[in-house]
């Protein structure tokens, strides 16, 4: 009788994330591998700069979006000097925002609003890299 109650308790317990994850990891149907798992940062930045310059030159942008585009180009042209001394690969968004404000004379709100088109461009470029 005691074994039946123990088995019933185990059947009624909640399934944890670990239970599901481990069972999925064991199933070959749900696994994948990445052939080229490294992407060189310099090649990504060079590709982004090229596409960014083309985007700024060809798209119908507002004055603020154009100012921001040229500031982004300048930022990426000099990223080694601007972010030298960082102790890791993460960029401090406050430093970037301050740099963009100084380069464009735009407010933070104007920069954030103008950044929307560039976020779409970035998403498109990133999607192409992951193909």
What is the model's pTM? 0.61
The 10 Å Cβ neighbour count of residue 74 is 15
pLDDT value at residue 126? 75
Q: What is the DSSP string of the chain?
A: -HHHHHHHHHHHSPPPHHHHHHHHHH-GGG----S-----HHHHHHHHHHHHHHHHHHS---HHHHHHHHHHHHHHHTHHHHTTT-SSS---HHHHHHHHHHHH---HHHHHHHHHHHHHHHHHHHHHHT-
Calpha distance 126→43 (Å, rounded): 12
Calpha distance 86→118 (Å, rounded): 25
- pLDDT (tens, 9 = 90+) of the chain, 131 residues, equals 555 555 555 555 566 666 666 766 677 766 666 565 566 777 777 888 898 999 999 989 899 999 999 999 998 888 777 665 555 555 667 778 888 999 999 998 999 999 988 888 888 877 776 66
């Amino acid at each position: 009788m005691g074994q039946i109650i123990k088995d019933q308790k185990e059947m009624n317990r909640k399934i944890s994330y670990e239970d599901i994850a481990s069972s999925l990891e064991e199933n070959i149907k749900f696994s994948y591998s990445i052939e080229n798992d490294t992407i060189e940062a310099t090649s990504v930045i060079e590709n982004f700069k090229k596409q960014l310059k083309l985007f700024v030159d060809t798209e119908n942008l507002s004055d603020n979006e154009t100012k921001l585009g040229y500031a982004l180009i300048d930022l990426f042209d000099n990223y080694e000097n601007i972010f030298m001394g960082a102790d890791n690969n993460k960029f401090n968004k406050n430093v970037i925002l301050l740099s963009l404000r100084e380069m464009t004379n735009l407010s933070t709100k104007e920069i954030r609003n103008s950044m929307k088109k560039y976020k779409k461009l970035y998403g498109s470029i990133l999607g192409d890299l992951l193909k």
